[in-house]
Amino acid sequence: MANFELTKEFLDEIIEAIDQQNREKIIDEIVNLYPADIATILYELDGPQAHYIFQFLDTEKGADVLSSIDSDDRKRFIKEQFDVEEIAKYVNLFDSDDAVDLLNEQPIEIRERVIAILEDREHARFILDLLHYPEDVAGGLMQKELVKVYEDQTVSECVEQIRDQAETVDKVFAVYVVDKDNKLKGIVALKEIVLARKNTKIENVVQEDIVYVETTLPGEEVAEVMQRYDLEAVPVVNTTGRLLGRITIDDVVDFITDRAEEDFQAITGITGEAEEDDSVWMLAKSRLPWLVVGVIGSLLAATVIKGFEGQLARVTALAMFIPIMGSTGGNVGIQTSSLIVQSLAERTALAIGLGERLMKIAKVALVNGLVIGMLAGGYVFLTGDSQLFWVVCLALLSVVFLASFMGTITPLLLDKFGINPAVASGPFITTANDLVGIGTYFLIANWLL
């Protein structure tokens, strides 16, 4: 199938076909597309139009389309267009972890009614088992569907187990081996099963040295484990070692993507989950908190400047360099804190002590401060304001030092207190460094002039 590209002409044809209830046109144009491509089309339609298309999709493809739709859009779409029976029809085909994600988007009453009428009662039990886990830990990321065998079974019996269980498992990366108490003993690669004799005991071909995670492990650490050991799936156990489920790489990628979006919004000073097509009020509300912080910071900076109005009156040229002090401090703070946040995310922050880190930051700040200070000082000297040369040089050097220190300490402290350190790279640290930069500038000017 060729790559699909949504054009305005194609979309207009689909909308016209929906309005005219042209079934043949819709079936011919849409039904054979990939689920992700169909989801792309649905984003451009209103609720009733999108729902109309679902009647031409078989249940399995409809479930794939729903799983491809963004969480916020899917929540609104299902709430407005689907009844409980229709939701249950698709949830029956979702993996347990994806089913929980969808149901958590719905009101509690709808969630309970859907679970109550699910045809596959084992699937319903899987969903209930997962609902009590927070979404940002291994238990909330795992799915219950997997292929497992007992260590005392033969390879022949194992093959039969795989055939039975694989009907409910889309991707079989490995077969998990448990004992009679369902405690994880290891895994058997599919290659080993194919090559082994049919009467060979599983315990003789099991790989016991494996990586696993517990249900309470934070999602970020799960992602780190899977990246470090290059895993496509990782088993999840409880504190007693009993096998509860598995986490696949696609679920980890989704989790990392969602967190990256949240961190990006935090860095840019947007609170909550904001989308471009949200209402004016929602978009304004998501941006307002940090804008208020920025205004307060600017007012404080203005207060600092007012406190030095005597110096400004005597040396009016000081006003020329106020912007560069604030912007330099903000930029240096953002650069430094971004590196610290990255190291915290990768857990490389544990590899270096605070004292050694600060010493390294100080050396970098010294180099940057000297270069920037001399560059700006050279401009001052060439323009004939020689009396400001040392003020600008020393002020910029000091600003770079202080901003580097704040950019290092702030995210480390936030992480220590369990607060997302990504927010340290946003307007908070920029505003703080504006105050530090301008205050430092005027203190040095007052001292030297």
- 183-216 pLDDT, tens digit each: 999 999 888 888 888 899 998 999 999 999 999 9
> Residue 383, SS3?
coil
The pLDDT value recorded for residue 211 is 94
Compute the distance between CA of residue 398 and CA of residue 368 in angstroms, rounded to an integer: 11
Report the first-to-last Cα separation within the chain, whole angstroms.
Answer: 74
Q: What is the DSSP letter of 167?
A: G
Q: Taking Cα atoms as reference points, which of 279, 280, 273, 253 lies closest to residue 71? A: 273
Compute the distance between CA of residue 52 and CA of residue 384 in angstroms, rounded to an integer: 74
Q: Taking Cα atoms as reference points, which of 295, 306, 318 lies closest to residue 387? A: 318
Which residues, 6+ apart, have CB-to-CB distance to 214 below 8 Å? 138, 236, 237, 238, 239
Task: Look at residue 157 and tell me whether its pLDDT is greater than 50.
Answer: yes
Residue extents of the structural domains in the chain? 8-137, 148-249, 280-448
Task: Look at residue 350 and tell me whether its pLDDT is greater than 50.
Answer: no
Task: Look at residue 163 and tell me whether its pLDDT is greater than 90.
Answer: no
Compute the distance between CA of residue 276 and CA of residue 265 in angstroms, rounded to an integer: 12
The pLDDT value recorded for residue 419 is 66
Which residues, 6+ apart, have CB-to-CB distance to 246 below 8 Å? 142, 143, 146, 176, 233, 234, 235, 236
Exposure b/e, 352-387, CB count within 10 A at least 16 = b: eeeeebeeebeebbeebbeebbbebbeebeeeebee
Compute the distance between CA of residue 50 and CA of residue 38 in angstroms, rounded to an integer: 10
Segments in 268-388 forming alpha helices (H): 280-307, 309-314, 322-345, 354-382
Q: What percent of the chain has pLDDT over 70?
A: 83
Work out the pLDDT band at 102, boundaries 50, 70, 90.
very high
CA of residue 138 relative to chain centroid, distance: 15
CA of residue 248 relative to chain centroid, distance: 16
CA of residue 38 relative to chain centroid, distance: 24
In the numeric block, the tokens 């990768």 are attached to: 346
The pLDDT value recorded for residue 291 is 63
Task: Look at residue 273 and tell me whether its pLDDT is greater than 60.
Answer: no
- The class that CATH gives domain 280-448 is mainly alpha
Do residues 89 and 59 make contact, with C-beta atoms less than 8 angstroms apart?
A: yes
Average pLDDT of the segment spanning 302-331: 74
The pLDDT value recorded for residue 288 is 65
CATH architecture of 148-249: Roll (3.10)
Compute the distance between CA of residue 201 and CA of residue 157 in angstroms, rounded to an integer: 9
The one-letter amino acid at 188: V
- Give the strands of the sheet with 184-188, arranged side by side: 148-150, 175-178, 184-188
Q: What is the DSSP letter of 120?
A: -
pTM listed for this prediction: 0.66
- Higher pLDDT pick, 140 / 272: 140
Compute the distance between CA of residue 222 and CA of residue 353 in angstroms, rounded to an integer: 24
Do residues 213 and 184 make contact, with C-beta atoms less than 8 angstroms apart?
A: no
3-state helix, strand, coil in the chain (%, to 5): 70, 5, 25
- β-pairing, 213-214 vs 175-178, is unpaired
Which residues, 6+ apart, have CB-to-CB distance to 346 below 8 Å? 224
Which residues, 6+ apart, have CB-to-CB distance to 297 below 8 Å? 427, 430, 431, 432, 434, 435
Residue 129 has which token pair?
């088992």
Environment class of 33 (CB within 10 Å of its CB; exposed 0-12, middle 13-18, buried 19+): middle
Compute the distance between CA of residue 103 and CA of residue 84 in angstroms, rounded to an integer: 11
Average pLDDT of the segment spanning 255-261: 75
In the numeric block, the tokens 């912080």 are attached to: 293
Do residues 392 and 380 make contact, with C-beta atoms less than 8 angstroms apart?
A: yes
Residue 444 has which token pair?
């040095």
The pLDDT value recorded for residue 289 is 67
Compute the distance between CA of residue 411 and CA of residue 418 in angstroms, rounded to an integer: 10
CATH topology (fold) of 8-137: MgtE N-terminal fold (1.25.60)
Task: Look at residue 225 and tell me whether its pLDDT is greater than 80.
Answer: yes
Average pLDDT of the segment spanning 143-170: 86
